Structure 1
Amino acid sequence: MLAILGFAMIATFMVLIMTRTISAIAALILVPIVFGLLAGHGADMTGMALEGIIALAPTAAALVFAVLYFCIMMDAGLFDPLVRSAVKFAHGDPLRVSLATATVATLVSLDGDGATTAIITIGAFLPIYRRLGMNLLMLAVLLGSANSTINLTPWGGPTARVASALNVDIMDVFLPLLPTMIAAIIGVFVLAFVFGLWERKRLGIAQLETDLSQSLFDREPGVERPRLFWVNLALTLALLGCVVGQVLPLPIAFMIGLTLACIINYPKLSDQRERVAAHASNVVPIVLLIFSAGVFTGILDGTGMIAAMGETLLALVPAEYGPHFGPIIALASAPFTFVLSNEAYYFGIVPVLAETAGHFGVEPVEVARASLLGVNVHALSPLVAPIYLVATLLKVEVGDLQRFGLPFAILFYLLMVAVSLATGAVPFVVH
Structure 2
Amino acid sequence: MLAITGLLAVLTLFILILTKRMSPLAALITVPIAAALLSGFGLRTATFVVKGIESVSSVVGMFIFAIVFFGIVTDAGMLDPIITRILLVMRGRPTRILMGTALLALLIHLDGSGAVCFLITIPAMLPVFERMKMDKRLLTCVAAMAAGVNFLPWTGVMIRASVALHIPATTIFRPILAVQGIGLIFVFTTAYLLGKKEERRLGLVFDGTGFEMPRRELSEQERRLRRPALFWPNLLLTVSLMAVMISGKVEPVVMFMIGTVIALFLNYPDAEEQRRRIDAHARAALMMASVLLAAGAFTGIITGTGMLKAMANAAVHFIPAGHAGHIPFAVGLISMPLSLIFDPDSFYFGILPVIAGAAQQLSVPPIQVAQAALLGQMTTGFPVSPLTPATFLLVGLAGIELSEHQKFAIPFLFAATVVMTVACVLLGIFPI
TM-score, normalising length: structure 2:
0.62
Q: Structure 2 regions of 5+ residues with no counterpart?
A: 106-116, 149-159, 161-172, 174-179, 357-369, 386-390
Partner of 1:125: 132
Q: C-alpha separation between the residues in 2 aligned to 1:235 and 1:115? A: 15
Please give the residue correspondences for 1:188-337 in structure 2 after superposition, counting only pairs within 5 Å.
Answer: 191=192, 203-205=206-208, 212-215=214-217, 220-318=222-320, 320=324, 327-332=332-337
Q: C-alpha separation between the residues in 2 aligned to 1:50 and 1:146? A: 34
Provide the aligned C-alpha RMSD in A.
5.1
My pick for the range that moved more, 17-26 or 71-80, is 17-26
Q: One-letter code of the match for 1:191?
A: Y
Q: CA deviation at 1:80?
A: 0.3
Q: C-alpha separation between the residues in 2 aligned to 1:273 and 1:88? A: 36
Identity of aligned residues (%): 23
Partner of 1:340: none
- Structure 1 residues 69 and 413: alpha-carbon distance in aligned structure 2, compared to 1, 3 A threshold: farther
Check conservation: 1:88, 1:213, Cα contact below 8 A: no
Please give the residue correspondences for 1:9-158 in structure 2 after superposition, counting only pairs within 5 Å.
Answer: 9-87=9-87, 97-98=93-94, 101-102=97-98, 120-121=127-128, 124-125=131-132, 140=135, 144-150=137-143
Partner of 1:357: 352
Q: One-letter code of the match for 1:79?
A: L
Partner of 1:161: none
Q: One-letter code of the match for 1:69?
A: F
Check conservation: 1:86, 1:104, Cα contact below 8 A: no
Q: C-alpha separation between the residues in 1 aligned to 2:143 and 2:195? A: 21
3-state SS of 2:313 partner: helix
Check conservation: 2:268, 2:274, Cα contact below 8 A: yes
Q: C-alpha separation between the residues in 1 aligned to 2:404 and 2:221? A: 22
Check conservation: 1:102, 1:192, Cα contact below 8 A: no
- Which deviations, in whole Å up to 9, do the C-alpha atoms of 1:113-149 show, x marking residues without a partner? 979966x4355336xxxxxxxxxxxx55xx6544434
- Which deviations, in whole Å up to 9, do the C-alpha atoms of 1:306-364 show, x marking residues without a partner? 1111111111134746666873455547xxxxxxxxxxx74x56577565335346699
3-state SS of 1:369 partner: coil
Check conservation: 1:314, 1:356, Cα contact below 8 A: yes
- Which deviations, in whole Å up to 9, do the C-alpha atoms of 1:20-61 show, x marking residues without a partner? 333222222222222212212111221111111111111111
Check conservation: 2:17, 2:27, Cα contact below 8 A: yes
Q: One-letter code of the match for 2:49?
A: A
Q: C-alpha separation between the residues in 2 aligned to 1:75 and 1:384? A: 29
Q: Structure 1 regions of 5+ residues with no counterpart?
A: 127-138, 157-167, 169-175, 334-344, 389-401, 423-427
Q: C-alpha separation between the residues in 1 aligned to 2:303 and 2:75? A: 42
- Which deviations, in whole Å up to 9, do the C-alpha atoms of 1:211-254 show, x marking residues without a partner? 85352789644111111110111111111111221121121122
Q: C-alpha separation between the residues in 2 aligned to 1:382 and 1:211? A: 28
TM-score, normalising length: structure 1:
0.62
Check conservation: 1:3, 1:309, Cα contact below 8 A: yes
Check conservation: 1:117, 1:147, Cα contact below 8 A: no
Please give the residue correspondences for 1:174-189 in structure 2 after superposition, counting only pairs within 5 Å.
Answer: 187=188
Check conservation: 1:84, 1:213, Cα contact below 8 A: no
Q: CA deviation at 1:98?
A: 4.7
Q: CA deviation at 1:11?
A: 2.6
Q: C-alpha separation between the residues in 2 aligned to 1:189 and 1:353? A: 29
Check conservation: 2:69, 2:256, Cα contact below 8 A: yes
Q: CA deviation at 1:288?
A: 0.8
Paired residue total: 348
- Which deviations, in whole Å up to 9, do the C-alpha atoms of 1:237-272 show, x marking residues without a partner? 111111221121121122222221112111122112
Q: C-alpha separation between the residues in 1 aligned to 2:194 and 2:39? A: 57
Check conservation: 1:5, 1:35, Cα contact below 8 A: yes
Partner of 2:164: none
Partner of 2:176: none
Q: C-alpha separation between the residues in 2 aligned to 1:270 and 1:12? A: 46
Partner of 2:382: 372
Q: CA deviation at 1:102?
A: 4.5
Check conservation: 1:149, 1:185, Cα contact below 8 A: no
Check conservation: 2:70, 2:123, Cα contact below 8 A: no
Q: C-alpha separation between the residues in 2 aligned to 1:207 and 1:308? A: 56
- Structure 1 residues 64 and 89: alpha-carbon distance in aligned structure 2, compared to 1, 3 A threshold: same
Partner of 1:131: none
Q: One-letter code of the match for 2:19?
A: T
Check conservation: 2:142, 2:191, Cα contact below 8 A: no
Please give the residue correspondences for 1:334-413 in structure 2 after superposition, counting only pairs within 5 Å.
Answer: 346=340, 348=341, 350=343, 355-357=350-352, 359-360=354-355, 367-372=377-382, 384-385=403-404, 410=412
Q: CA deviation at 1:97?
A: 3.9
Q: CA deviation at 1:416?
A: 11
My pick for the range that moved more, 16-25 or 305-314, is 16-25
Q: CA deviation at 1:96?
A: 5.8
Q: C-alpha separation between the residues in 1 aligned to 2:36 and 2:190? A: 49
- Structure 1 residues 268 and 356: alpha-carbon distance in aligned structure 2, compared to 1, 3 A threshold: same
- Structure 1 residues 144 and 55: alpha-carbon distance in aligned structure 2, compared to 1, 3 A threshold: closer
- Structure 1 residues 259 and 367: alpha-carbon distance in aligned structure 2, compared to 1, 3 A threshold: farther
